[in-house]
Amino acid sequence: MWLVIDRPSGARFVRASLLTGCAGLLLLAISGRTLAQQAPVAVNTAAEISEAHPLAPALKLAYESREALKDVVDYDATFSKRELINGKLKPQVCYVRIRKQPFSVYMKFIKPNEGREVIFVEGQNKNMLQGHETGVLSMIGTVSLPIDGPDAMAENRYPITMLGIHSLLDQVIKQWESEARYGEVEVNFYRNAKLGKDINVEVIESTHPKPRNQFRFHMTRLFIDKATRLPLRVEQYGFPQSGDQSPPLVEEYSYVSLRTNLGLKNIDFSVDNPQYKFK
Q: Is 93 within 8 Å of 22 (Cβ atoms)?
A: yes
Measured distance between the N- and C-terminal CA atoms of the chain, rounded to whole angstroms: 48
State the pLDDT at residue 277.
92
Strands 3-4 and 186-195 turn out to be parallel
Q: Is 199 within 8 Å of 232 (Cβ atoms)?
A: yes
Q: Is residue 37 part of a domain?
A: no
Q: Is residue 279 part of a domain?
A: no
Domain that holds residue 129: 57-269
State the pLDDT at residue 151.
63
CA dihedral 100, 101, 102, 107 (to 10 degrees): -30
Q: Is residue 13 part of a domain?
A: no
CATH number of the domain residue 247 falls in: 2.50.20.10
Q: Is residue 31 part of a domain?
A: no
Q: Is residue 47 part of a domain?
A: no
Q: Is residue 237 part of a domain?
A: yes
Q: Is residue 62 part of a domain?
A: yes
Q: How far is CA 263 from CA 101, 103, 151, 260, 267, in A?
A: 12, 14, 32, 9, 11
State the pLDDT at residue 273.
97
State the pLDDT at residue 85.
86
State the pLDDT at residue 142.
86
Q: Is residue 16 part of a domain?
A: no
State the pLDDT at residue 147.
80
Q: Chunk the chain into consecutive blocks of 10 residues (it has 279) and report each block's average pLDDT, rounded to whole numbers.
A: 39 34 38 36 55 96 98 98 91 96 97 92 94 70 79 73 96 97 96 94 97 96 98 97 88 97 98 93
Q: Which of 231, 24, 235, 9 is nearest to 110 (CA)?
A: 9
For the chain, the domain total comes to 1
